[in-house]
Amino acid sequence: MARSVCAGAWLRKPHYLQARLSYMRVKYLFFSWLVVFVGSWILYVQYSTYTELCRGKDCKKIICDKYKTGVIDGPACNSLCVTETLYFGKCLSTKPNNQMYLGVWDNLPGVVKCQMEQAPHLDFGTDLEPRKEIVLFDKPTRGTTVQKFKEMVYSLFKAKLGDQGNLSELVNLILTVADGDRDGQVSLGEAKSAWALLQLNEFLLMVILQDKEHTPKLMGFCGDLYVMESVEYTSLYGISLPWVMELFIPSGFRRSMDQLFTPSWPRKAKIAIGLLEFVEDVFHGPYGNFLMCDTSAKNLGYNEKYDLKMVDMRKIVPETNLKELIKDRHCESDLDCVYGTDCRTSCDLSTMKCTSEVIQPNLAKACQLLKDYLLHGAPGEIREELEKQLYSCIALKITANQMEMEHSLILNNLKTLLWKKISYTNDS
């Protein structure tokens, strides 16, 4: 009897195992299909985002239509629209309205930028209006003399930069840049292109700082599309991953990877010195002060010699222009008084209006960015002093007494400390 019971149990065991295996297969298949479904959905969403961000063909079509109908002109127009020796490569756009591509122009590498919508005039919170093609290149009008155009440009600069004594020199410089074919005259098409470009802070800054080491050189333009000098490394950190891989990397691990793939410390110090020098360039430059309103690693790059080069300067704005537009803005807290990510003023709760004074100077923002970058792997003999100077720099406030003197002292001390350490190294 007992033997028959044991035999029955033994015979039932394979059926149990088969049922168990079938359940495991179903479970495995279910989770496999779930992973495939979720992965496909993520890829679809990201691809849709990519196609929305990267609209180079649309940009080229709009520009070339205007060029072929004689509305605009510029040194890049023929190469872009006729001979097609200027073409777009890898898409670097982060916003649909600001198209940014690695490109090649007559076998020379460059960065191509194009506005798919009207340039935002420091709009603090409202959505950008769609590009109004009818009025985008509506100025100057036919019949405008060169003298009248110069007056238009002068008035624009006065509004953007304040009443600087040397604005006339800048106007003449703009006319030289606008004369793309170098025939000594600015045609109506060239003037329309120049006027559209002057609404963009980055273009204006490139012209103002064209002789400075850390500002990319302007190669050419067509309408409000322009080509600037290429930068070999387009981020402060030396690694960029495909967007698909970025999805699955935790932010903490990504920060560790960033530090792992940076250049050697002496080379990082040289890049940091370049950023400090750029801060000097925009701090009380020849045409007033500019404010760095998005000081992030993705906006900075460097070349093969580890000289810093700015990659994106679209959020570097004239101080006068920013103050004029933010003052008296309605606010309920300091969070309502921010432009970009880094230009903050305070909210006057008695009047519920934003004040016009930006709280943190450019140097403090640069030091905040450089803190982790420089302290990671810093030589032990200077680490303590470097950390002390960086924190003193981060604590800088525009409202502090003798801010300009303190600003210059901290900046020079940091540069001196770094240069002394790397002056005799091969990496520098």
- The tally of domains found in the chain comes to 2
Domain boundary at 199, 229, 259, which? 229
Considering the domain architecture, whether residues 208 and 254 belong to the same structural domain is answered as no
Considering the domain architecture, whether residues 302 and 180 belong to the same structural domain is answered as no
Given a cut of 90, whether residue 209 has pLDDT beyond it is yes
Q: Is residue 6 one of the residues assigned to a domain?
A: no
Considering the domain architecture, whether residues 287 and 183 belong to the same structural domain is answered as no
Q: Is residue 128 one of the residues assigned to a domain?
A: no
pLDDT level of residue 164 (50, 70, 90 thresholds): confident
pLDDT level of residue 83 (50, 70, 90 thresholds): very high
CATH code for position 286: 1.10.510.10
How high is the pLDDT of residue 138?
A: 86
- As a whole number of Å, the CA-based R_g of the chain is 28
Domain limits for position 188: 54-117+137-229
Q: Is residue 93 one of the residues assigned to a domain?
A: yes
Considering the domain architecture, whether residues 168 and 309 belong to the same structural domain is answered as no
How high is the pLDDT of residue 98?
A: 85
Q: Is residue 104 one of the residues assigned to a domain?
A: yes
Considering the domain architecture, whether residues 214 and 311 belong to the same structural domain is answered as no
Considering the domain architecture, whether residues 76 and 204 belong to the same structural domain is answered as yes
Q: Is residue 190 one of the residues assigned to a domain?
A: yes
Q: Does 85 or 283 have the greater pLDDT score?
A: 85
Considering the domain architecture, whether residues 293 and 376 belong to the same structural domain is answered as yes
Q: Is residue 402 one of the residues assigned to a domain?
A: yes
Q: Is residue 11 one of the residues assigned to a domain?
A: no
pLDDT digits (tens, 9 = 90+) for 313-342: 999 999 998 988 888 889 999 999 999 889
> Which residue from 363, 316, 324 is spatially nearest to 205, judged by alpha carbons?
316
Given a cut of 50, whether residue 350 has pLDDT beyond it is yes
Given a cut of 50, whether residue 133 has pLDDT beyond it is no
Burial of 370 per CB tally in 10 Å (0-12, 13-18, 19+):
buried
Considering the domain architecture, whether residues 58 and 185 belong to the same structural domain is answered as yes
Burial of 220 per CB tally in 10 Å (0-12, 13-18, 19+):
buried
Which strands form 225-229's sheet, in the order they lie side by side? Answer: 86-91, 98-105, 108-115, 225-229, 218-222
Q: Is residue 132 one of the residues assigned to a domain?
A: no
How high is the pLDDT of residue 404?
A: 79
Considering the domain architecture, whether residues 196 and 80 belong to the same structural domain is answered as yes
Considering the domain architecture, whether residues 166 and 100 belong to the same structural domain is answered as yes
Q: Tell me the C-alpha to C-alpha distance, in Å, between residue 176 and each of 73, 133, 150, 169, 185.
A: 14, 26, 12, 11, 9
Considering the domain architecture, whether residues 202 and 288 belong to the same structural domain is answered as no
pLDDT digits (tens, 9 = 90+) for 2-49: 445 454 544 455 555 565 556 566 666 666 666 665 555 444 444 444
Considering the domain architecture, whether residues 222 and 254 belong to the same structural domain is answered as no
